[in-house]
Amino acid sequence: MVAAARRIVLREGFEALTMRRVAALAGVSAAALYLYFPDRLSLMAAVADDLFEGLLAAMRAAVARAEGDPDPRARLHAVMTAYLDWGLTHPDEYRVIFMTPITGVAGHQPGEPGVPAAPTGQATFAALQAEVARLIALGVFRPAEPQVVAEAIWAAGHGLVSLLITKPGFPWSPRDRLIGTLADALCRGFSAG
């Protein structure tokens, strides 16, 4: 059922997601769908969570590959490179999870009672924040609030991915060089020394 909802969302956005359309596409009755998802908002959260799984897997694999690198910033560099690469190789998924106001579409605001969270989405940010906190604790990054630094790093990465997705006609530098340059700048920009 989530796969059916995902297909609708990737083609037409969250605005087009209805319980009846999902049920029909999944080949189940609307009543059966309501057994798993009590309302449209919970289905939307499940789709968002599903979309985040690929990004989280890419970030975790990048951290694993960077283990043992003598540069303590290598894991953060790997996380950011994975984020940027994933966003550019999955532009439709990226648009949905980072460029679409999921809660606003449902008529609710973040933090409002009854608005379900997407745990995998939260885990992707937590992975970034953990790397930042590790570098601050090691003294590699200057003292700061890990959440604020992680948000700044994420915002910069999001800016690049968003621009590359929405402005393909701009004469960009080669993608690998651009990604590497941004990841290097982000990893060195908060350095203690």
* pLDDT, tens only, 78-91: 999 999 999 999 99
Q: Could you give the CA distance from residue 186 to residue 180 in angstroms, rounded to a whole number?
A: 10
pLDDT, position 96: 86
Cite the DSSP H helix spans in 37-145.
Answer: 40-66, 74-89, 91-98, 102-106, 119-137
pLDDT, position 106: 44
Q: Could you give the CA distance from residue 8 to residue 150 in angstroms, rounded to a whole number?
A: 32
Lowest mean pLDDT: which of 106-120, 139-153, 154-168? 106-120
Backbone angles phi, psi at 118, to 5 degrees: -105, 95
Average of per-residue pLDDT across 137-157: 96
126's CB contacts (< 8 A; 6+ apart) are none
The tokens describing 50, both together, are 């599903």
Q: Which CATH class is domain 52-189?
A: mainly alpha
- The model's pTM: 0.84
The tokens describing 181, both together, are 């340059």
Structure letter (DSSP) for residue 21: H
pLDDT digits (tens, 9 = 90+) for 31-70: 999 999 988 888 888 888 888 999 999 999 999 999 999 9
Q: Could you give the CA distance from residue 18 to residue 14 in angstroms, rounded to a whole number?
A: 9
